[in-house]
Structure 1
Amino acid sequence: MAGNRSYQQRDEEQLRYQELNQHLKEGKFSPIYLLYGSENYLKRSYLRLFREKFGGKDGMNYSYFEGNADLDTLISALDTMPFFAEKRLVVWKDSELLRRTAPERLCAYLERLPDTSCLMLIEEAADKRNRLYKLVEKKGFVCELAEQDVRMLSGWAARYLMKAGKKVRSSTMERLIERSGRSMDRLSGELEKLIAYTGEREIVEDEDVGQICTANVEDRVFDMITELSLGNTERAMRHYSDLLTLQEAPMKILALLRRSFNQLLLTKECVRQGMARNDAAKYIGVSPWAVPKLTEQAKHYTMESLQGYLSRCLFYDEGIKNGNLRDRMAVELLLTS
């Protein structure tokens, strides 16, 4: 069931991306946009594309706000008539109003937003119960730019390499993504290193990936979970400390822990049903060559313990979003209690 819901979610996300791209292609824009999620590369890319449609970063029809912006100044920007154009774009990044109560004045204003302005909210996370979220959903367009699946990343990375005159086998691409992780920022950096390393050579080989691409945060999270399964809490905390030193966000680490525990739960279900490797890979949502590694790690957990970890991940995530728990402390509690 979990696997099927996951596929449905991915299909729905792709439809939203297609609709967003159609807005850009046709130049027919919603009054309000909310772009949120963990994939910063996509958020930056869509911001750039929208900005270009409204005359560019230095254009007369573009205003940018970040963080705790002054509401009077924001409304003034939205009320300003566009210069020789139908609309102007106002972007507000990281307002955090999608996770807490938005000012009544702002919500009332957005109900009657002038049709000469387009407001784009760009956030890390959003609570779907939030009044502002529901308002944007009713009057505008909401799109979650979450971590992408392997299929989408493979196609994107192959096109990235093709523009540089490079080709890659599907098995090598899977290895690259498994090693680099699913962050498009990180993956683009690894692709640039591979392009430079291979020089005039056309084909990117497995050996190039092994030589150039460094271990990623997901590998370290995998190590954390392994240490937890063996009762080595101190070592798990050491991995966590290393990730914080590398300036990885605790919320991202918590999300990866939750995903990893869910993968292990799905892996145990695959083992119980006696699934073949390729079928198991599709069900879990990983590359086929990652299945044996997950199967080995899953042996150290019971179904009940994994369900317990998942419940706690959700509980701590809710606590962070409600402001009742600091993100760093949430991960520490998950690892030590």
Structure 2
Amino acid sequence: MRYLNITFFKKHFENPLFEKIKIYLVVIADLYEREKIISYILKKINIKNFNLSKFSKENKLSKIINTFQSPSLLGGEPFVIIEDIEIFSKQDIQNLNSYLKANDVHLIIGASTRGASSLLYSSIEKKGLVFDLSLEKIWEKEKRIASFVLEKCLKANKNITSLVIEALFERVGLDLALVENEINKLITFVGLKKSIEIEDVQSICPINITESVWKIAEEIVWGKINFDNLSIDTAYFHLLISAIRFQLQLGCKMASILESGKKYDLSSYFPKIYPRALEKKKLIATERKAIFFKEAIKSLFEIDLLSKTINMNLSNLLDILKTKLLYLSAYDINATS
């Protein structure tokens, strides 16, 4: 079973037979959106009957299998959540696929792309449910996030028109974390007013924050890793984390291609990067090597996880991230690992 549309996906849970589905695969590029969908699934399932185990860091398959096979002292059937399938090696993913074919277990798997989940995709589509937004068109995403805004306003007993939503998108883009943050601010800002107007959006929503954050992330990864002059509100912390992650993944892919020893035309892999900018990134990727980007992605994941699990000043977390990235860039990781 596969859904490529949020509306049909949610209708699936209106059918009492949805409880027969035990395995879910959620394919969404944005980690925040992926986590929202995983949370939605868990709310629909009677999780009181299960013992939840969440795997967010790099793990071995044996630990997952052991979770399924070892009953918990707390009781309840094991229910495993894997936020990102890329924490496992290709061999482990193949072995997990074989295990899922032979066993009935409760599992939710997240993936950023269909390619990352390709070894499991068809198996879960046959045995469980796949929710895949990887091929979503920009106008489909706009409609989906507009519906999210409308639903949030209705719950808060606020009216909002399509023109106001359009004005909001013009200012902050289509990043769900950012849109949710801004609509929460607007609901509070209007107070007892029944409607959110364009004037309210113009009063408190920043202009082109998404573009600014992506430029900052690019400078952090491909520049001097300098956070000192970072003029960004901590309210946009998670947008910045997502943007930095994208740049690090770009660097990792580029460095891996360069280290393969084969002659490749990088422009064919990165057609959207201007030639001069591509040449600059090529030099930096060659100098830092793929392992820098891989270790940096791990460090970024840890910072992101900390921001969601403990009450810590986000500015301090950015300072920690800066220290980790500077350390990785200054030392020979191969020699110290």
Task: Please give the TM-score of this superposition, normalised by the length of structure 1.
Answer: 0.58
Equivalent of 2:130 in 123, 137, 142: 142
Counterpart in 1 of 2:98? 108
Residue in structure 2 matching 1:51, options 42, 52, 58: 42
Q: Decide whether aligned partners of structure 1 residues 31 and 196 sit closer, same or farther in structure 2, where only a CA change above 3 A counts.
A: closer
1:196 to 175, 182, 188: 188
1:181 to 2:161 alignment: no
Change in Cα spacing, 1:238 to 1:180, as seen in structure 2 (3 Å) is: closer
Query: C-alpha separation between the residues in 1 aligned to 2:242 and 2:209?
Result: 8
Is 1:91–2:81 an aligned residue pair?
A: yes
Candidates 109, 118, 141, aligned match of 1:121: 109
Say whether the 8 Å CA contact 2:35–2:83 is kept in structure 1.
no
Write the distance in 1 (CA, Å) between the matches of 2:96 and 2:66: 12
- Deviation (angstroms), 1:171: 0.9
SS of match in other structure, 2:257: coil
- Judged with a 3 Å threshold, the aligned counterparts in structure 2 of structure 1 residues 198 and 243 are, in CA distance, closer, same or farther, namely farther
> How far is the alpha carbon of 1:106 from its aligned partner?
2.5
Q: Which amino acid aligns with 1:79?
A: Q
| Partner residue, 1:166 | 158
Partner of residue 241, structure 1: 219
Matched, 1:153 2:86: no
Does structure 1 residue 320 correspond to structure 2 residue 244? no
Cα distance change, pair 63–240 in 1 and its aligned pair in 2 (3 A): closer
In 2 relative to 1, CA 18–192 (structure 1 residues): closer, same or farther, beyond 3 Å?
closer
Q: Are the structure 2 counterparts of residues 64 and 14 from structure 1 closer, same or farther at C-alpha, using a change threshold of 3 Å?
A: closer
> Identity percentage over the alignment?
21
Q: 1:254 to 1:175 in 2, by over 3 A?
A: farther
**1:69–1:19: structure 2 CA closer, same or farther, 3 Å change rule?**
farther
Contact 1:68/1:95 (CA < 8 Å) preserved in 2? no
Match of 2:27 among 16, 32, 36: 36
Map 1:43-82 onto structure 2 (within 5 A): 43-52=34-43, 53-55=45-47, 60-80=50-70
Determine if contact 2:172/2:206 at 8 Å carries over to the other structure. yes
1:336 alignment counterpart:
277
- The 3-state SS of whatever aligns with 1:121 is strand
Structure 1 Cα separation of the partners of residues 127 and 255 of structure 2: 25
Q: How much does 1:242 deviate?
A: 7.0
Q: Is the alpha carbon distance of 1:151 and 1:15 closer, same or farther for their aligned partners in structure 2, counting shifts above 3 Å?
A: closer
- Where in structure 2 are there 5+ consecutive unaligned residues? 228-239, 260-268, 279-337
Shift of 1:191: 0.7
The answer to whether the 8 A contact 1:54-1:88 is kept is: no
Kept after mapping to 2: 8 A contact 1:29/1:118: no
Deviation at 1:91, TM superposition (A): 0.9
Distance 1:162 1:118, change over 3 A: same
Taking a change above 3 Å as real, the CA distance of residues 131 and 104 of structure 1, as seen in their structure-2 partners, is closer
- Is the Cα contact below 8 Å between 2:56 and 2:82 reproduced in 1? yes
The question of whether the paired residues in 2 share the 8 Å contact of 1:33 and 1:120 is answered with yes
Distance in 2 of aligned mates of 1:253 and 1:12: 27
For residue 162 of structure 1, give the secondary structure of its aligned residue in structure 2.
helix
CA gap of 1:163–1:210, structure 2 versus 1, over 3 A, is same
Residue 38 of structure 2 aligns with an amino acid whose one-letter code is L
Return closer, same or farther for 1:238/1:89 CA change in 2, 3 Å cut-off: closer
**Contact kept in structure 2, 1:99 and 1:322, CA below 8 Å:** no
Instruction: Normalising by structure 2, report the TM-score.
Output: 0.58
How many residues align? The count is 245
Find the aligned partners of 1:213 and 1:243 in 2 and give their Cα distance.
27
Partner of 1:283: none
